[in-house]
Structure 1
Amino acid sequence: MNFKNFRKNYRIADYAMFGLCTWIFIYCMLPWRFASHYDFLTEEDIFEVLVEQVTNNISLQQLPECDYSAIVGENAYTYLKHYQEKVLRNEEILPGGEYYPRDCKARFSVAIIVPYRQREEQLHIFLTYMHNYLRQQRIHYRIFLVEQNDQLPFNRAKLFNIGATIAVQNEFPCLILHDVDLLPLNSGNLYACTEKPRHMCSALDKFRFNLPYTSLFGGVVAIRSEVYNIINGMSNLYQGWGGEDDDFYERILAKQYSICRFEPKYSGYTMLRHKPETPNQNRGQLLTTSHLRFHIDGLNSLTFKENERRIHSLFTHILVEI
C-alpha cells in the first residue's frame, strides 16, 4: 500500500470513529432513550383517584371545604427566587412544622417524612421552599425530620419506617416519603394520597424530566398509612445507598397493589446538588432474596432508640439511633 492510500484509509477510519463517537454522544443525550412513555393520570383523572382523609382535629372544623380545582387547573410554575429566599408569612406555621388553612377545611392531611443526616444546606433550602410551596395548596400537613444520630451507615428506609410509625401515632392517614434534595416545580402536584401508591417525581431534571425505568419508585412517594402498614413498610436492612426503593416496589406488587403517576407536567422536580452517599455493596444480594423477608422485615421488626424529639418552628425533629 502506497503512502497516499494509507493516508486515505486512515482518514476514512478516523471519520468512522468520529461518527461513532458522535452517535454515542447523541444517544446518551437524547431524552427519548428513557422510559418517557409511561402510564399516567391526566388532569381529568386526578380528582377521581385522590383519597380525602384528614386528622380528627381537621374533621371537626366547621368551615366550607377547600376547593382545589384552580390549583390543579392552573398548575403554576413555583420554583421562583422569592420562594427560595425566606419563609413567607411564617406566622401561619404552627410549632412542629404544621399548617392548615384557616378560611376553609382542608380535605387532605399528610405527614411529610424526611430521612436526614448531615445535609444542613439542603435542609435549609428544603424547609424554606416547601413551606412556601405547600401552603398554597391549602392542605393540612406536618413535616417530620427523622435524623440518624449515630455512626452507622445511613439507613434511609429504616428512617422512613420510624417516621411513618410516629406519623400514624399522630393520626396522619397519608404519608409522603420525601428525600431532602428534591423540590417540586409546579403547584398542581397535590401533596395528597391516591388509592394506589403514587410516584410523585417521575419527571426529574437529573434525568432530563424523563423516567429512567418504569419500575422506579423512589425520591418522593405518596402512600396511604393503611397501605404502608399492609405491605409491612420498607426493609430495615439496606445500609448505605441503593436497593431499598426497588425492594419497596416489589413489596407493593407482592400485596397485589400497583402504582400510579400524574402526567409529567405535574410531576416535575429539581434535585439539589450534593455529595453522593456511600453505595450499599450488598444491595444486589439483598434484592435477590427480598421476597423471602417481606413479612418479617419491616414495620413488624423495627427497633430503634429515640434520643430526642424537638418541636422546631418549621419541623418536628426526631433524633434516633438505629
Structure 2
Amino acid sequence: MKVNKRDVPLKAVNINITKVWIISVFANFILWLLPIFFGKYTDVLFPYIAHNDITQELVGLIGPTENKFRMCPVVSPYLQNTLRLLDNNVDSLVDEEILMNNDIQAGGVWEPSDCNSRYHVALIIPYRNRSQHLQQFLTYMHPFLVRQQLKYRIVVVEQAEGVAFNRAKLFNIGFVETLKLSKADCFIFHDVDLLPQNDYNIYACTHHPRHMYSAVDTLRYHLPYRRLFGGAVAMQQVHFKKVNGFSNKFYGWGAEDDDMYNRIEQVGLSVIRFDPRVASYVMLSHSSVWRTEGRLEKLQDNKDDSEDGLSSLSYHVLDKKERSLYTWFLVSC
C-alpha cells in the first residue's frame, strides 16, 4: 500500500526529530566532557607561569663577563606588544634587508653591541624540502630575537634524501655540532613552521624544560593533551645531556615528543609553560602529514631504553656552511 506524505501525522515527525536532536547534542557533550574529566585536554587544567612571574623563571648570566659592557636588562626595552605576521609570499630581497637592519653575522649569529646579553641561545631547526617556510621563519625570527637582546645562533640541520625523516635525531645532531661552534647554554628545538606571536615570549631557558607554546592557532589556541612537548621546546644544555637527548629511533612522524616528555619525568624534571597570552603561536600552512604506523608501540617499548639518544648517535656530516642567516649542516643519518 502506497502512503502519501500528507497522510503521515506532522506532529509525530516533529517529535521524533526533536528527540534525535536532543540525543545527538547530549552524546556530543558527553564525548567532549570525557577527555576533560580524564585531563586529556583543555587549557584550564594546565599549570602556567603567570605573565608577571616569567622573569623569575628565566635562567641566564648574572655576573660580569669578559668585556666591560654592562649586562642587558632581564627584559629588553625593545619588545613590541603586537607583531605583524608574514604573508606566504616573502620577497627574496628580504635577506639583505635583515642583514642591513640588524647586523646579522655569517652563520645567523647576533649579539647586542651595547650590553652583554643575559641569554646565550642556539635555535636548532630540523629541515627537509621546506624552503619557503625556512625563508619565512628566518625573515620573522631574526628581528624577533634581536629585539629580545639575545646572544644567539640559528642552526638548520638538513637530512639528506634516501631514508624517512627523523626529526628527533636531527635535533641531537644539531646539539652536538653546535657545541663545536658555540658555548650556548640554552638550546631551543624548533619546527620551521611555527612563529611566536608575542615579543614577551622570551627565547631563553628556564629552571625546567619549557614547552614554548601554550596555544597555537591551528588547535584553536588550545592544547590537545597535557603531555604535549612538540613544536618548539627550550632546554638547558645540562638538562638535555641529563635526559640523553631525544630518541634516535623515531623515523617518520609522531611520538618522539612524547618520548622526550617521558625522559624528562624519568630524571626528576618537569615541563613548564608560560601564560597562553604570551606563549601563543601561528603555524604556517602546509599539507597534512600522516602519522607513522606503529609509533605508539615504539613509544611504549622505548620507555626504559636509557641508552638510546646522544650516547648512541650515529651520523655523517655531508656538507656545512655558514650562510648569511643561518648555520647549515647537511647530514645522513
Equivalent residue for 1:239, pick from 241, 251, 255: 251
Measured in 2, the distance between the counterparts of 1:148 and 1:318 equals: 8
- Cα pair 1:98 1:314 within 8 Å, conserved: yes
Equivalent residue for 1:36, pick from 29, 32, 43: 43
- The CA deviation string for residues 178-210 of structure 1, in whole angstroms up to 9 with x for no partner, is 000000000000000001000111111111111
Give 1:61 shift: 2.8
Equivalent residue for 1:178, pick from 190, 198, 211: 190
Q: Which consecutive residues of structure 1, in runs of 5 or more, have no partner in the other structure?
A: none
Are 1:268 and 2:280 counterparts?
A: yes
Are 1:253 and 2:265 counterparts?
A: yes
Map 1:130-141 → 2, pairs under 5 A: 130-141=141-152
- The CA deviation string for residues 90-110 of structure 1, in whole angstroms up to 9 with x for no partner, is 131000001111111111010
Q: Which deviates the most, 16-25 or 90-99?
A: 16-25
Measured in 2, the distance between the counterparts of 1:258 and 1:76 equals: 29
Give 1:120 shift: 1.0
Over aligned residues, Cα RMSD in angstroms? 2.8
Query: Aligned residue for 2:83?
Result: 78
Equivalent residue for 2:58, pick from 27, 30, 50: 50
Measured in 2, the distance between the counterparts of 1:225 and 1:12 equals: 65
Give 1:68 shift: 3.6
Which amino acid is the alignment partner of residue 36 of structure 1?
D
- Cα pair 2:74 2:118 within 8 Å, conserved: no
Which amino acid is the alignment partner of residue 245 of structure 1?
D
Query: Aligned residue for 1:113?
Result: 124
- The CA deviation string for residues 121-170 of structure 1, in whole angstroms up to 9 with x for no partner, is 11111111111211111111110000001221110000000001112222
Question: Between Structure 1 and Structure 2, whose CA radius of gyration is higher?
Answer: 2
Query: Aligned residue for 1:207?
Result: 219
Measured in 2, the distance between the counterparts of 1:230 and 1:90 equals: 36
**SS of the residue 2:43 aligns to:** coil
Query: Aligned residue for 2:99?
Result: 90
Which amino acid is the alignment partner of residue 81 of structure 2?
A
Query: Aligned residue for 2:70?
Result: 64
Map 1:274-313 → 2, pairs under 5 A: 274-293=286-305, 295-313=306-324
Q: Which consecutive residues of structure 2, in runs of 5 or more, have no partner in the other structure?
A: none
Measured in 2, the distance between the counterparts of 1:22 and 1:168 equals: 55
Which amino acid is the alignment partner of residue 171 of structure 1?
K
Measured in 1, the distance between the counterparts of 2:31 and 2:139 equals: 35
**SS of the residue 1:143 aligns to:** strand
Are 1:316 and 2:327 counterparts?
A: yes
Measured in 1, the distance between the counterparts of 2:217 and 2:192 equals: 15
Measured in 1, the distance between the counterparts of 2:216 and 2:77 equals: 21
Distance 1:28 1:69, change over 3 A: farther
- The CA deviation string for residues 259-308 of structure 1, in whole angstroms up to 9 with x for no partner, is 11111111000001112234211211111111221x21000000001101
Distance 1:25 1:68, change over 3 A: farther
Measured in 2, the distance between the counterparts of 1:241 and 1:302 equals: 19
Measured in 2, the distance between the counterparts of 1:27 and 1:181 equals: 34
Q: Which deviates the most, 1-10 or 172-181?
A: 1-10
Which amino acid is the alignment partner of residue 83 of structure 2?
T
Give 1:36 shift: 1.2
Measured in 2, the distance between the counterparts of 1:77 and 1:27 equals: 38
Distance 1:302 1:67, change over 3 A: same
**Would you say how many aligned residue pairs link Structure 1 and Structure 2?**
315
Distance 1:118 1:19, change over 3 A: farther
Equivalent residue for 1:122, pick from 103, 114, 133: 133
Equivalent residue for 2:110, pick from 74, 99, 111: 99
Which amino acid is the alignment partner of residue 258 of structure 2?
D
Distance 1:76 1:319, change over 3 A: same
Measured in 2, the distance between the counterparts of 1:267 and 1:239 equals: 29
Measured in 2, the distance between the counterparts of 1:194 and 1:71 equals: 20
Q: Could you state the TM-score of these two structures normalised by the residue count of structure 1?
A: 0.89
